[in-house]
Structures are given as structure tokens and as C-alpha cells.
Structure 1
Amino acid sequence: MIKKWFKSELVRKFMFTLMMMCVMELGKQIAIPALDSDTTRRVMSSTPFLRNLAITTGGQFNYPSIFSIGLAPYMTGMILFQVIMLLDIDGLNKLSKYQIGIVQRLISFFIAMLQSFQLIYLIKDHIKMSGIMFLGVDYNLIVPFFVLVAGAMLVSWMTDMMVKNGIGGAGTLIIPGIMSNMPYSLLRGQGLGTTSLEINLTNILICVFSILIVAVASVFMNKAELRIPLQRPMIQNDFSESYLPIKVLAAGSMPFMFSTALFLIPGYFGGFDAGSGIGRFLQQYWSFDSPVGIIIYCGIVVLLGYAFSFMNFRPENNAKQLKKGGDYIFGLTPGEETKKFLNKNLIYLSTIANMFFVIVIATPLVMGLYVEGISNLMFVFSNILILVTVMDTVIEQTKVLYLRTQYNLLEQ
């Protein structure tokens, strides 16, 4: 019985997932060479842009480690390729899965180089120079750069292996980082106007109840979907009627994985020229303690919500697949009319999702204008939404794998 249990697909995938998560966390603790670790730790902790990006992409920006870049190149490469695929270019549509994987890895490699260069540039003054030059660049600048790039590509490979052999896919690897950072986010915030939260009974009760409400609402919204009935004339049995589901949260948690980082980019670059007019404007308005900044941030979330909804559901592709398979929506002709119908419903559901997103993030930010530290709940709510979507995938895959172990055609 025990031997059979260890051979089951569920246990093997679970053990593989656990191993990958341990390797990921171990890699975050291995510092890159030639650094003054104490000084670089202070420099990186004072950069909200990098810290927020790391939290949602499984990176490590408390200090430079071989996995500091995290899943950012992999996720960005995947998103950029999906955007390119939306152009519906015949040459791209004919690519095999292997060729698609190569293109995505090349995009990820280019992004990994850019992010590694950015990190090395940030901490270059705290790297011990060796005096050995190569093409005018010190050896101790070159080695950390390539170590970071190699670490990012290793994480991309680990992510591919997780999708193939693990449970929950790429999102599982970011769970430990998000959970470990939530207390810090709640108590200290993530910068750009957020302040420390005072620990008292009132604030504790507010945090507990609001977190429970958001968690329950997130689970409900993540499960909600619109089921569009399909007619299947080529199948003459009980399964001739089916449906096409469109999730309310078609964008998933992707808007929250990138919204904060995008919001922080202008302030990050504006800090290089704080005395200019643009720099002063960014410091005054582009923050979480400014009504203008809150409106801008909510706008970024809404735009990302619509964008990722269309990227994930892809109404045009679904319409083509229905037409190709001979299925159709009652009362609609296959093709262009079906695509317009799917677009209309996706926009409707995405609007509902975006209203939910705005309520979740704007409420603590607006309250934070009057109650110091409450705005930190926005970061916690964002992390809860990410965890809900990732854990839902983990649970659903676990259920499927478990049911496989309970089904045997040869048993009487």
C-alpha cells in the first residue's frame, strides 16, 4: 500500500513541487560574488520599485542573490509573446510548441539581461573592484552580471519543469515569497507615501475583518463564471449540448502582479532628477498618499485588467475554434458574429472584475489619506488575490490527480 502510494502521480508531482520550492528559496540565500553585502542590502531595501517587482515575481531584493531576478523574465516573456500572438500573424500561428518555447526563452533571456544590468548598475558603487579589466569593464562587474542572468534562466527552466512535472505551475514558486512578505507589507508598506501601521486593538480588528472579507470575496469572484450554451450538431447524444465558460476574473491576478511595479517606474526614474519640474511633480502627486496618485494607480489596474482578460481568453481564437469544431452559439452565425458576442460578454465581465479590483485597492488607499498606515492593507489585499488564484489552480490540479488514483477500469 505504501509502495503504491509513493508511486502515485499525485505524490510524485507534490514531491517535485516541494523540491523546486526548496531550490528556489535556497537560491535566494546564495549571494552573488564580489559584494559588500551590508551596504548593498541597505541600497536595495531603499528601492521600492525593485522590492515590489520581486515580491510578485518570486525574486529576492533584500540583497543580491543568484535568484534575485526571479520569474520576471519568464512571466514578461510569456506575456509579450501572447501580445505578439494577438496580431494573428500566419507565420507565428504555424510555429510548433518547441519553436514557441525557443522564442519565449529568447525573449526571457533578453529581459533577464536588461534586469541584471539594471541591478548591477544600482549597486555598482558597492562592488569590490578587482582591477582586472575586460573590454574596459572590471571583472567583478562582469561576473555578477552573468551570475544574475544565469540564475534568471535557471529559474525559467525550473518554471517550465514545474508546469510539466509539478502542481500549480509557475505561480507555486512565488507563494513562499508572497506569504513571507505580507507581514512586512502590512506593518511597513512598500514606499511612495505609505507609512508604518501602528499596532493597536482598533487597527488589528480592522485588519483581521477586512482581510477575511477580501479573502472570501476573492474566492467567490475567482470561481464565478458566465456559461454560454453551445450547440454541438456533430454529436448526437447527451453531450450534444455544452457550454463555453468565461470567468469573471478572466485576467486572474496578473493585474496586481504588475500594477504596483508599473506605478513605481515613473517615481523610480524621476528620483534621478528630483530637482526638475517633472521630478517635483512625481514626488508630489505620483504616490499612494495623493488623491491623484490613487486615481492613476486605479487606472493602471483597470487597463491591465482589460488587457489581461483579452490575452487570457482570446475571443477571436475561441470563435475560430468553435467554427472549426462545428459548434455554435444558438442564434449566432459562426465566425465574426460569434467573436463580437464573445468580446461583448468579456468586456462586461471584465468591467465587473475591474469594479471589484478598484473597490479592493481604493478603499484602503482612500482611508489611508486620513488614517495613518491603513493604506498598507492595499498591498496585503493584492497579495491575497494573487494567492487565491494560485492556490485555486493548485487545489483543482490536486483534485484531478487524486481522482485518477481512485479510478480503475479493471476493478469490480
Structure 2
Amino acid sequence: MHRYREFLTSLGWTALILAVFVTGQTIPLPNVDLTTAEAALKHVTFLRLFGKVTGSDFSNQTLFSVGMGPFMSAMIIWQAVQAIGDEAISNLSPRQVSFGKYGITLLLAIAQSFQLVYLTRGSLQTFYLAGTDIDITFVGTMLILIAGALFVAWLANMNAAIGIGSSVALIIPGIVRGIPNNLIHGFGDAETVTLKINATTLTVAIVVGAIFLLFSVITNAAELRLPIERPMLDREHSNSYLPIKVLTSAGMPFMFSSSLFMLPRYFVNQTVGPTTPAQHFITTWFSYRTPQGVLMYTIVLLLLNYAFGYINLQPTRQAKSLKESDDYLLGTYPGDATEAAIMQHFNRLTFISSIITLIIGVGPLLVGLFWPVAANYSLYLGSLMILAGMTIGVADQIHGLITKNRYQIFD
């Protein structure tokens, strides 16, 4: 039992944190008409797609409706800043780094809370500052949502420190809940064709999902290992390598591509439809049902795949780290030559991962041009890819907690 004590303790903390998170998503805001709010958000597709993959719940107006969205976006923005300005970021103290991350989280929480309250403003019940006739309905509702978002960020940080699965543990339940809905309703816009569930379609979905999950596990685990020479270690322990994942961006492109792609449609009234040339352009080039839209979505996926891959790998930082520790890639000079070599391998692997990404995300859309319901599989398979990547990371952490006490060095 001693061997599993740390694992069971971490598991218990994660269970408690998830229980608090799920409970918060069931506590309704005190001054919102839920039926009216749901109707107001019905056609804001990009917001619902964003919520499905970030632990947010925009379909129900609750304390944690904003959820993990600001925190996740802030971590990605911080990684991007770190990749671009590594020299400046490395000189910051831990306190300054924490201030920067949570400062971005706060700003995004304010922006997303404002957006959500603005979209549902017609469902808000008026309330006043105690003892006055000052209407604080809008600001008060925003403050509740902001407080909820910051509390969720704290929960995620706590789980990363003492739980299992880092901060992504809070996202996994929402993704699992959303997978059946993604398959049935697809992207959820006005053009979506609902998949009717019967014995045949359910069997096909399960078989395709099972095969794809196996494929996802294999591709997420695949990596290129560049041999590293470590002169400062004795020869017996000097053999090492720099791993570069084939899917360097993991499932990140699928997490944000749909909501980003659907964002321009927010400027078109979904009830009336396009009424100007600009709106007609948007509905043509940002639709999953037109060749132009599929081409645009392909571009979005490719750009996100490259960007997230670069942010996750950070070639400049890798080369700098190797040089500072007096290590080097075999046959490559330290410094700029090492960075160029890493970038060369990254570009090659990105080409492979781009093909995989397009097969998953764009393949069903191409079929959907002729058989509309097939387009739903784009979001379905993308969600499975996200889930597989996150689950592998959690499984690796669990394996580490269970096996680390087998080594005498840890006793």
C-alpha cells in the first residue's frame, strides 16, 4: 500500500477538485432567466464550440459558465510570449511569471464575462445595490462570472500541484460529455444535418471511434529521438536523446479551429440570413458546406497546427538549454546550428502531422459536400484526438506515481 500512497492521495485530491468544479457548474446565476438565456445563445455557435473544449458551459448560465476558458487561453498566450521573447521571460522571477499568467487570465475572464452577459442581457433580472436605486445588474453578473472563472483557475492550479492530470483534468469530463453531442449535432450551426441514431449508425460510430482511438494513441506516442552527447556525465550515463513528437501540436488545433472558424459568422444574423455582400462572403467562405469554406477551414487547421507545434517545441529554447548545459546533438555545432537542425526536423514532422490533421478534420468535410451528415465526424474525430492526447498525459503521470517508489533512489 505504501507504493500507491502518493497515487491514491493525488487521486483523492483530483476527485475532490472535480466534484467542486462540477457542483459549481450546477449552481445557476441568481438573476438569470435560464430559458431566455439559452435561446439567446442558441445561434452563437463559435461560443458553444469554444466552451465544449475548454471546460466552459455556455449552454447553462451558472457560476462556472466561463469555466476554464480564460485560464487555458492565458496559458497558451503565455507559451507564445515565452517562445517569442524567451530571453526576456527567462529573467523574470517566479512571482513575476505568476503575475503575468494570472493577469492575462483576469483580462480574458473580464472579456469573456462581458461577452456572455452582453449576449444574454435580455434574460437578466434587474437588481440594485443594497440601500440604493443604482442598477448593478450588468456589472454584478459580470463580477460573479469573473469570480467563478478565477476560482476555476485556482482549482486548476491546485490540481496541477497536488492532483492528477495537471489542469487538463478539469477539461476531460466536459469533452467526454460532448462527444455524443458532437457526433449527433456536429457543429450545431443552421446548416448542420443531425445524425439519426439507430443500430447501424451507432455501430458505425463505435467501430470508427474505436479504430480511431487506437490510431490516436499510436500517433500521439510516436516521436523522433535525436541523439544527444552529454560530455559532463560519465560515459555509462551519457547516452540520451531529444524527443520530438510527431504530433507536436497534439490535439490543440482541434480545440480552437472550430470556434475560430465560426467566429466571423457572429456578424451575420442567423435568423434573417446574409443581407449584404460582405455577409454573403462570410457565409460562403466560413461554411462547412461549401468548397470555399472547406478550403478556409483547411488553412485555419494548418496554421494552428504549425503555430501550436512551434509553441510546444520551442526550438530556440531547446537549443539554448542544450548549449547552457554543455550538451549537443551528435554531428551538430551548439547554438544556431542546433536550432536550425531542430527546426529542420520540426518542419518535416509538421508536414506529417498536417496530413494526419487534415485527414481527421477536413476529410469528413469533403465527404460531407456529397453526404452532409458525414461532416459531423470532423468534430467527433477531433474530440477523440483531443481526449486521446490528454488521457495519454494523465496515464503517463499515473504510471510515474505508481512506479517511482520501485527505485531505491526514492526511498
What TM-score, normalized by structure 1, do the two folds share? 0.93
> How far apart in 1 are the matches of 2:129 and 2:34?
21
Unaligned runs of 5+ in 2: none
SS in structure 2 opposite 1:203? helix
SS in 2 for 1:118: helix
Task: Please state how far the C-alpha of 1:160 moved relative to its aligned partner.
Answer: 0.9
The yes-or-no answer on 1:11 pairing with 2:8 is: yes
Tell me the residue number matched to 1:176.
173
Matched position secondary structure for 1:86: helix
The aligned length equals 408
1:187 paired with 2:184, answer: yes
Partner of residue 45 from structure 2, selected from 37, 45, 48: 48
Alignment match, 1:26:
23
Shift of 1:53: 0.7
2:74–2:108 Cα contact (<8 Å) kept? yes
How far apart in 1 are the matches of 2:50 and 2:40? 16
User: Is residue 2:66 matched to residue 1:69?
Assistant: yes
- The percentage of aligned residue pairs carrying the same residue is 32
Q: Given the alignment of the two structures, is residue 316 of structure 1 paired with residue 316 of structure 2, yes or no?
A: yes
- Is 1:214 aligned with 2:212? yes
TM-aligned CA distance change 1:89 to 1:223, over 3 Å: closer
Contact in 2 for aligned 1:259/1:304 (Cα 8 Å): yes
Unpaired segments ≥5 residues, structure 1: none
Q: Structure 1 residues 46 and 80, CA, compared in 2 at 3 Å: closer, same or farther? A: same
Deviation at 1:89, TM superposition (A): 5.8
Q: Per-residue CA shift, 1:328-359, capped at 9, x if unaligned? A: 11221100011000001011111111110100
Give the conservation status (yes or no) of the 8 Å contact 2:285–2:296. no
Compare 320-329 and 265-274 and name the one that shifted more.
265-274
Between the aligned partners of 1:306 and 1:151, the Cα distance in structure 2 is 33
Q: Report if the CA contact (8 A) 1:73-1:152 is conserved.
A: yes
**What pairs with 1:90-105 in structure 2 (closer than 5 Å)?**
90-105=87-102
What's the secondary structure of 2:224's corresponding residue? strand
Note the 1:179-328 alignment, pairs <5 A: 179-192=176-189, 193-271=191-269, 274-328=274-328
SS in 2 for 1:68: coil
Distance 2:134 2:280 in 1: 34
2:403 counterpart residue number: 403
Provide Cα deviations, 1:202-256, integer angstroms capped at 9, x if missing partner: 4334322321222111111100000001112222221222111101111111111
- Deviation per residue, 1:288-334 (Å, 9 max, x gap): 11111111112111111111111111111111111111111122110
Q: In the superposition, relative to structure 1, how do residues 408 and 239 fare at CA in structure 2: closer, same or farther (>3 Å)?
A: closer
Amino acid at match of 2:346: L
**Worse-superposed segment, 122-131 or 179-188:** 122-131
Q: Which residue of 1 aligns with 2:164?
A: 167
Could you give the per-residue CA deviations for residues 49-106 of structure 1, whole angstroms, max 9, x where no partner exists? 1111110000111121111111111111112122222233644321122210111100
1:99-138 alignment to 2 at 5 Å? 99-130=96-127, 138=135
What one-letter code is carried by the residue in structure 2 that aligns with 1:245? P
What CA deviation, in whole Å up to 9, does each residue of 1:132-153 have, x standing for no partner? 6999983122211100011111
Secondary structure, in 3 states, of the residue corresponding to 2:372? coil
Counterpart secondary structure, 2:159: helix
What is residue 364 of structure 1 aligned with on the other side?
364
CA distance in structure 2 between the aligned counterparts of 1:265 and 1:221, rounded to whole angstroms: 30
Query: AA paired with 1:329?
Result: L
Matched with 1:82 is 79
* Cα distance in structure 1, aligned partners of 2:131 and 2:249: 46
Distance 1:122 1:169 in 2: 32
